[in-house]
Structure 1
Amino acid sequence: MLNSNMNELPLSITEQLNNILQSIAYFVPETALAILFLLVIITGLVMKKDAGRFCQLLTLFGLVFVFQRDVQQLYLVLSGPKFLFSNMLLLHHVSIVFKLVFEVLAFLIVVYIPLDQSLKSHSKGLSDLYAILIAVVFGLHLMAMSVNLLMIYLAIETVSIGSFLLVAYQTENRFAVEAGLKYVLFGFAASAVMLYGMSLLYAATGQLDIFNGHFLDGLIRVHPVPVSLGIIFVLFGIGFKLSFVPMQFWVPDVYEGAATPVVAFLSTLTKIAGFALLTNFLTPFVFFGKWTAFDFRLFFSIIGIITLIAGNFAAIVQTNIKRMLAYSSIGHTGFGLMALVTFSQQGISALLFYLIVYAFANIGALMLCSFYAGKNSMLSVEDLRGLGKAYPFAGVCFVVLLVSLIGLPVSAGFNGKVLVFSSVIDVYRQNHNSWLLALLITGAVTTVVSLFYYFKIPLNLFLKTPHQTGAVIVNQSTTLLILIGFMAALVILLGIFPSLLANLVR
């Protein structure tokens, strides 16, 4: 018996090594990100003068290289999805599209970071910030591909730790430190809840690989109550990144206290990665015909309705622009859940399109916060009085981006919402699920509600008398204005020609 085991051991190790070597060929973008992380750290240490500028350029070139490798991966999965590292990761078309989105948005954020005056004046410089951002992007890649409970946990923790550091990066800013502390506390609580849920699922199945047939077979043999409890805990852990109700409490304070480029990063990239991970987690349950222990459509329909209502109605009473955008971000999560509960290919394509156009518009709106705020991170709606006439180009761009966030015609946001509503209506026609109808009605009503808080900004920009005191010192960066104009033009272009993006996300 001992000899038999000894003979099998080398074969097992050989198989594992072969699997690792084969997987590395599909892991090139992530390997490049790891190398880029080290290069940026070394550059920051070696280059004393202008370290931030050199690290920014290195990060930008590195992200372009990673983007190219992601594009090459699209051809590698033409023959079908690839499981990597003993089924820890799953590489397929949708996950690659998510990674491409990460690179594009991260590139925009890296360009944006030194244009924000509060970050530019930071005493410690920005080189470390770029290194942290690269590490988080690496974690986002893992989130988009994770199909193993252990890898899901490691990916989320990688992103969480990096996000904690990003939020509290401005150590001399009391609001940033306070926001970072709150984020850490909520993050650790969510992590503990998720880990406990994973332990329940593992105890029931003895499996960590959620795509393994024994995983679902083991769950259906266990009483539905502990299984449902474990699933809910895991979903709440993922929901921390998505900021759906009731995992949204950290959002307003963190968004208000953190540097505006960091808010742009958290409100877009981590949210999109959360949806990518959630899609991976739900896939084996949705396509397993015998699964009846937990109704995912009912759960996410209820969560989506509450999130839509809570986010949009709370945003109405906000006066601080970043807090208002924080609550609106919660509302947009509800729209993403609308597309997700269709559990269809059309719904996933609509989700991807919606998240991408939301990201462009939201990043552009936050860039305008940096433009109008200068070094004042506590910019209020009242501070914008009359500034639309003084800075007409920025004011018009702000209106265009807000129109897209609302979802009005001739904007990318309108096309995104049309695709989401269409995907839900198509599924509703097939099964006449009352919760889908409730989602449709809630989505329509909250879209109207969003008009009331988004239009407070153009109202103050163009129709209110300006302050005599000159409370706002505007950031006069031409590069920032060009970037804002590009974002506004992009949402209009995708509003007129949605096929430019729709063909990619199918």
Structure 2
Amino acid sequence: MHDLLPHISESLSHVFGSIRYFVPEVYLTLLFIIVLITDLIFGKRSAQLCRTIACAGLVLIMFKDLQQIALVVDGEHFIFSNMLLVSRIGIFFKLSIDVLSFVLLLYFTWDNKLNAHQKGLSDLYSITIASILGLHLMVMAVNLLSIYLAIELVSLASYLMVAYRTENAFSTEAGLKYVLFGAASSAIMLYGISLLYGFSGSLDIVFQSSIAQLSKVNPISSSFAVILVLIGIGFKLSFVPVHFWVPDVYQGASTPITAYLSTVPKIAAFALLTNFLPPFMLASSWRGFDIGIILSAVGIVTMIAGNFAAVMQSNVKRMLAYSSIGHTGFALMAVVVLTLQGVSAITYYLLVYSAANIGALALASYFTNETGAEEVEHYRGLGLKYPIASVCFVIILISLTGLPVTAGFTGKLFVFSAVYAVYQQTHNIWLMLLMITGALTTVVSLFYYLKIPLNLFLKRKEMPEISGIKSMNLLILSIIVSFMLILLGIFPDFVLRYL
């Protein structure tokens, strides 16, 4: 017992020394407790108060994120016995998550169907804050145990968010499907983690010593274990073949929840990939399969499956669900090269994609609130009746497609540039196939993204009855998003200078 005392003191000193790098997450934990207690005390009447507290708390947490930058000037830091990693790019990922989550918290009450929920939205705010905490942990996780716990925290919160509208049978069905697919992917990932731990004898898989231990194992076995873990991460990213849940869940969930699930968890999952993959892709001691080839094949299939399936959709949310799968495949291009330029490109691309996707779904909510339109065909002739919203929709869809002069074009250009720079050095055929597929599927995306402008402006029908409830908040949000997409497309340095 006495022999352990020095180690206990050393461990406690390390924990206390790590807390200053963990301040935003501490504040998120406190914010979750405050919002939860507020809900318990005031009940259904607490929705507006919980919303105010959650939004104010997120603003404070953004400020704490910015303060962390000064702590990583001298380089990245491992904290809590190498469980988490604090780095400059990780802080930017967390800041992006917090900014987008702040917008989404405001958006929740602007959707008439979600706002009319009989239980109120106070529970939803506490669930969302818990999810944001999990997303922060995903961005920082570098230990197999912390990776699993972070993903599970986000997954549990996501299940509750999808099935929040319990009076809606479609939403309940979507939540059940999400839980079943999530449980299966979690079990697969946990099995992969157990194999990696058994092979290496350590949960700190990002260190060379662990990779050296894995190199002593049969390459097929170690590669199989890594692939199982990637399947669990891929569930949050929704790349092929773990994408089957996306269309039904995105369509069945409330539109603001769809906006949440299609953006911020993807940012956190890609950040997790950039932490998890380097030892397996860059270390000379790794003897398993070429992970880059596997990810390239997955990226190609994901781009093709997502974009071609989206062409056949008539429901707006379902179409955007398949398009998000296609965008995941495109973003994997930058992960495959895993250079500093590639990480900067994927960070910028995910930020502008998330902003555009939130804008598109906000406009879907706007037209549903105003006219009840949910199918693409329902948008016939609405362009002249709602000119500002329709023009914003066109700008946002142009950005999602990746056409000049929007931020979507600049983001895709950065990704192509990062991949091409590596291709010039290696002449890897898989990188060439990725670039060709990315270019061709961008053309394919025109066929479904332009369906909405086509119906808005070029097709006519009798005007539907207009709702007496005006969704001005959604309209203002869409105008801001459209302006930002054009501004960042022309001046990308506003973001790139901080990467």
TM-score (norm 2): 0.98
Are the equivalent residues in 1 in contact too, given 2:281–2:292 (CA < 8 A)? no
Greater shift after overlay, 207-216 or 99-108?
Answer: 207-216
CA distance in 2, matches of 1:430, 1:314: 34
TM-score (norm 1): 0.97
Cα contact 1:89–1:145 (8 A) shared by 2: yes
Q: Does 1:307 align with 2:308?
A: no
Q: 2:338 aligns with which of 336, 343, 356?
A: 343
Letter in 1 for 2:9: T
Partners in 1 of 2:114 and 2:469 — Cα distance? 13
What does residue 98 of structure 2 align with? 103
C-alpha distance in structure 2 between counterparts of 1:207 and 1:375, whole Å: 56
Matched residue, 2:120: 125
Report what 1:478 is aligned to.
472
Which residue is 1:503 aligned to?
A: 497
CA contact (8 A) 2:281 2:290 kept: no
Amino acid at match of 2:408: G
| Structure 1 gap ranges (5+) | 1-5
Contact kept? 2:69, 2:88, Cα under 8 Å: yes
On the 8 A contact 2:212/2:286 being kept in 1, the answer is no
2:237 touches 2:265 (CA, 8 Å); kept in 1? yes
Contact 1:372 1:472 in 2 (8 A): no
On the 8 A contact 1:36/1:62 being kept in 2, the answer is yes
Which residue of the other structure, out of 143, 152, 158, is the alignment partner of 1:157?
152
Query: What displacement does 1:53 show?
Result: 0.9
SS in 2 for 1:504: coil
Whether 2:214 is the aligned partner of 1:219: answer yes
Tell me what 1:493 maps to: 487
Q: Kindly indicate whether residue 359 of structure 2 is the aligned counterpart of residue 389 of structure 1.
A: no
In the alignment, the residues of structure 2 paired with residue 251 and residue 8 of structure 1 have an alpha-carbon distance, to the nearest angstrom, of 53
Aligned residue identity for 2:495: L
1:37 lines up with 2:27 in the alignment = no
Where does residue 374 of structure 2 map in the other structure? 379
> 2:470 corresponds to which letter in structure 1?
Q
The Cα of 1:374 is off from its aligned counterpart by 1.8
Letter in 1 for 2:97: F
Q: 1:52 aligns with which of 39, 47, 50?
A: 47
Residue 123 of structure 1 aligns to a residue in which SS? coil
Q: Is 1:250 aligned to 2:254, yes or no?
A: no
Query: Deviation string for 1:337-372 (max 9, x for gaps)?
Result: 011111200001000000000000000000001000
Q: Deviations over 1:108-152 (max 9, x none)?
A: 001111000011100001111010000000000000000110110
Aligned to 1:148: 143
Q: State the 1:479 CA deviation.
A: 1.6
Contact 1:383 1:472 in 2 (8 A): no
Q: What is the rounded CA distance, in whole Å, between the counterparts of 1:272 and 1:247 in structure 2? A: 17
Pick from 165, 173, 176 the counterpart of residue 170 of structure 1. 165
After TM superposition, the structure 1 stretch with the greater mean CA deviation from structure 2, 312-321 or 73-82, is: 73-82
Question: Is the contact made by 2:407 and 2:487 (CA closer than 8 Å) also made in structure 1?
Answer: yes
Rounded to whole Å, the distance in 2 between the matches of 1:137 and 1:122 is: 23
Query: Contact conserved, 2:182 with 2:235, CA < 8 A, in 1?
Result: yes
Kept in 2, the 8 Å contact 1:37–1:131? The answer is: yes
* Structure 1 equivalent of residue 17 of structure 2: 22
Query: RMSD across aligned C-alpha pairs, in angstroms?
Result: 1.4
The residue that corresponds to 1:291 in the other structure is 286
Are the aligned partners of 1:311 and 1:329 in contact in 2 as well (CA < 8 Å)? Answer: yes
> For the residues of structure 2 that align with 1:377 and 1:460, how far apart are their CA atoms?
15
Give the partner amino acid of 1:212. F
Task: Structure 2 unaligned segments of length 5 or more: list them.
Answer: none
Amino acid at match of 1:488: S
Question: Which moves more between the two structures, 134-143 or 276-285?
Answer: 276-285
The amino acid across from 1:233 in the alignment is L
| Counterpart contact for 2:373–2:379, Cα < 8 Å | no
Q: Is the 8 A contact 1:373 1:472 kept in 2?
A: no
Over 3 Å counting, the alpha-carbon distance change for 1:22 and 1:376 in structure 2 is: farther
1:362-411 Cα offsets, whole Å, 9 max, x none, are 00000001000129987100011111110000000000000000000010
Give the conservation status (yes or no) of the 8 Å contact 1:372–1:475: no
Partner of 1:3: none
Kindly provide the amino acid, as one letter, of the partner of residue 37 in structure 2.
Answer: I
Matches of 1:376 and 1:214 in 2, distance apart? 61
